[in-house]
Structure 1
């Protein structure tokens, strides 16, 4: 006998069938002696759906406060953040938005506001310059450190003078020199989150300094570092190559290989090193927020940085945990509705601030 579910096994997977699979499967009548077969068929269909498209993702939401566990399937569209009506939506909701621009500084002086990206290069007169995405050119002299500040609600791409590419996340500071030509090493400082694709140079190791005296030494590699001042941990995730992570008061550096991550608790100085799926920790570059069993206050902080807004969480939901992926253009209205319809959380907006209570 062919069950309704069995009909799915040998047919093309349609555009919306994955959204109906769980509902259909749960509605099937019990079939004697076929539980194992059904389970295998179910897994087979789910695997085929997963292989069929990378644009659709499953968000698993668990609320320990409300003891809620359920799956919600989301459709992610590859629309660029610049084209999305996110800010218009926030304005319509009455939410206050951070209007600050990306700042380029020489020393402590703001020199220019930048758009989405910039590149350090040598101009036709052999002078170092910062070339912005809009065509603006700023001639530079060696001496004072250069700084980029990316405010909440923004992301920024920067190519350094040596060809190293740095992606900077919201609410992030990067300090770097005009050129590395006269130095024995390449050294930069970051506070916030950045993804580094370091240009190989065996004669000049690349160092990234993070708050707390910690530093990362590389020759040519790609990695993500998250070192926000208000986070409990500094987290570094290696994608390719090899790095050494140094911590004050620790005599030996921690060596990381691809797909490994080191976490340093800033209060206890405890260190953990694990294997991870590195792609999950660089999704923010593409405008995707990934969170795995994240407590609601931490998730709210990530959303606040992502959109340049303020979110406050009631104390009773401090232990509510959520997992999933949300694309930037989904917007806060979608996300808050998702939270409120799948848990006991309510959402209100007062004086431009979002309250989850």
Structure 2
């Protein structure tokens, strides 16, 4: 099979619909692996299938169907019957017969798609160290690893590089003590991560798609911050002033501790993993706080507020700050949420069964997406297909 034929087009469409037998799949894979040109054609036809499937209910799709059916009427009765068979089989797909028609539709669909929305897996790189600092005044400043900044937070405090410092510690002013303090926000976009040090010396690693609200200077009898997303904390010990993380209706109270907190909007649970020290976990509905010990992982379901405690290798839970994704028998549906957040790509599933397939392993966060997906494919039962705007997941 050295050229594009009706048979090959039909095989690619059947592959998209998961209707190929093992023998037919092997035949198609042989053709795809024969050359780079064949692989490019394979991806293009899949992208066309996907885009046509997404738009089959709009007005343009009606026009597409009319054109295709008109083309079919000009062919022999046998070929017309075959095309109608495939149209019914796909339910929502337009089947393109003949090399010229395939290239015509590929060109048409690609031209009508915003080039900025295209995703080429081989070109998708990992995230970077970046965040946006929103001051209490409302102004915003982009924070990058290669950009030295000194920002006046007011109240005798400055944000220098990645730390909140007192002006007097820099030798540039007098110490100012206030009864109350305004709150600032650090937001980490998808595809980013950021580490900063708060005014009390507590270090915070913020994961992709996270935000933390914090004061320039802690005041009163406790140190309090608000989190959305995921963060790892190394809290500066101070028995007189407990450190409190508020997130998702929960309160995490510590003195001097290292722990991981996760509460993303698109995740079904709040999760706290304790590495060192002691933590008092409390939900708004709990009468008493839950005392956590090192190695404990607390998970609270957001729907019913049910809380569970397990003993785990908590270092793996926080492996993201060391540059790794660690997946422990994680369903693919949950796994790709984390990949999408870091690589800023969208995934979709060919079947419900594909969502429930699980994967165990560790991959480096800073590897290109293609290498990460290749590793998961080699060790799992999944196949990733680049459709241009999205990555579709099939069961092998």
TM-score tier by shorter-chain length is 0.5 to 0.7
In 2, distance between residues paired with 1:319 and 1:143?
A: 47
Taking structure 1 as reference, are residues 233 and 355 closer, same or farther at Cα in structure 2, changes over 3 Å only? same
Task: For residue 117 of structure 1, report the CA deviation from its aligned partner.
Answer: 9.4
Query: Could you say which residue in structure 1 is the equivalent of 2:144?
Result: 115
- Equivalent of 1:309 in 338, 345, 348: 345
Query: Structure 2 regions of 5+ residues with no counterpart?
Result: 1-118
Q: Deviations over 1:2-60 (max 9, x none)?
A: xxxxxxxxxxxxxxxxxxxxxxxxxxxxxxxxxxxxxxxxxxxxxxxxxxxxxxxxxxx
Q: Deviations over 1:154-204 (max 9, x none)?
A: 110010000000011111010001101x32110001011101100111111
Contact kept in structure 1, 2:124 and 2:369, CA below 8 Å = no
Within 5 Å, give how 1:276-315 maps onto structure 2: 276-314=312-350, 315=352
Q: Which has the higher helix share?
A: 2
Structure number with greater Rg is: 2
Within the alignment, does 1:161 sit opposite 2:202 as a pair? no
Contact kept in structure 1, 2:268 and 2:301, CA below 8 Å = yes
Taking structure 1 as reference, are residues 312 and 110 closer, same or farther at Cα in structure 2, changes over 3 Å only? farther
Within the alignment, does 1:210 sit opposite 2:239 as a pair? no
Task: For residue 127 of structure 1, report the CA deviation from its aligned partner.
Answer: 2.6
In 2, distance between residues paired with 1:200 and 1:146?
A: 23
Task: For residue 91 of structure 1, report the CA deviation from its aligned partner.
Answer: 5.9
Taking structure 1 as reference, are residues 313 and 283 closer, same or farther at Cα in structure 2, changes over 3 Å only? same
In 2, distance between residues paired with 1:200 and 1:118?
A: 30
Within 5 Å, give how 1:44-83 maps onto structure 2: none
Taking structure 1 as reference, are residues 96 and 270 closer, same or farther at Cα in structure 2, changes over 3 Å only? same
In 1, distance between residues paired with 2:149 and 2:215?
A: 10
Within 5 Å, give how 1:1-357 maps onto structure 2: 93=122, 102-107=131-136, 109-116=138-145, 127-132=156-161, 143-180=181-218, 182-211=219-248, 213-314=249-350, 315-342=352-379, 345-357=382-394
Of 137-146 and 147-156, deviating more is 137-146
In 1, distance between residues paired with 2:324 and 2:259?
A: 17
Using CA pairs under 8 Å that are at least 6 residues apart, name the structure with larger relative contact order, 1 or 2: 1
Task: For residue 331 of structure 1, report the CA deviation from its aligned partner.
Answer: 2.2
Contact kept in structure 1, 2:332 and 2:357, CA below 8 Å = yes
Contact kept in structure 2, 1:118 and 1:158, CA below 8 Å = no
Taking structure 1 as reference, are residues 304 and 108 closer, same or farther at Cα in structure 2, changes over 3 Å only? farther
Aligned residue pairs total 263
Taking structure 1 as reference, are residues 288 and 145 closer, same or farther at Cα in structure 2, changes over 3 Å only? same
In 2, distance between residues paired with 1:266 and 1:293?
A: 22
Task: For residue 105 of structure 1, report the CA deviation from its aligned partner.
Answer: 0.3
Taking structure 1 as reference, are residues 200 and 340 closer, same or farther at Cα in structure 2, changes over 3 Å only? closer
Contact kept in structure 2, 1:103 and 1:148, CA below 8 Å = yes
In structure 1, the residue corresponding to 2:321 is in which secondary structure? helix
Contact kept in structure 1, 2:126 and 2:368, CA below 8 Å = no
Structure 1-normalised TM-score? 0.66
Task: For residue 120 of structure 1, report the CA deviation from its aligned partner.
Answer: 11
Task: For residue 126 of structure 1, report the CA deviation from its aligned partner.
Answer: 8.8
Q: Which has the higher strand share?
A: 1
Taking structure 1 as reference, are residues 317 and 275 closer, same or farther at Cα in structure 2, changes over 3 Å only? same
Query: Structure 1 regions of 5+ residues with no counterpart?
Result: 1-89
Task: For residue 312 of structure 1, report the CA deviation from its aligned partner.
Answer: 2.2
In 2, distance between residues paired with 1:253 and 1:264?
A: 13
Taking structure 1 as reference, are residues 256 and 175 closer, same or farther at Cα in structure 2, changes over 3 Å only? same
Across the aligned residues of Structure 1 and Structure 2, the Cα RMSD in angstroms comes to 3.4
Task: For residue 339 of structure 1, report the CA deviation from its aligned partner.
Answer: 3.5
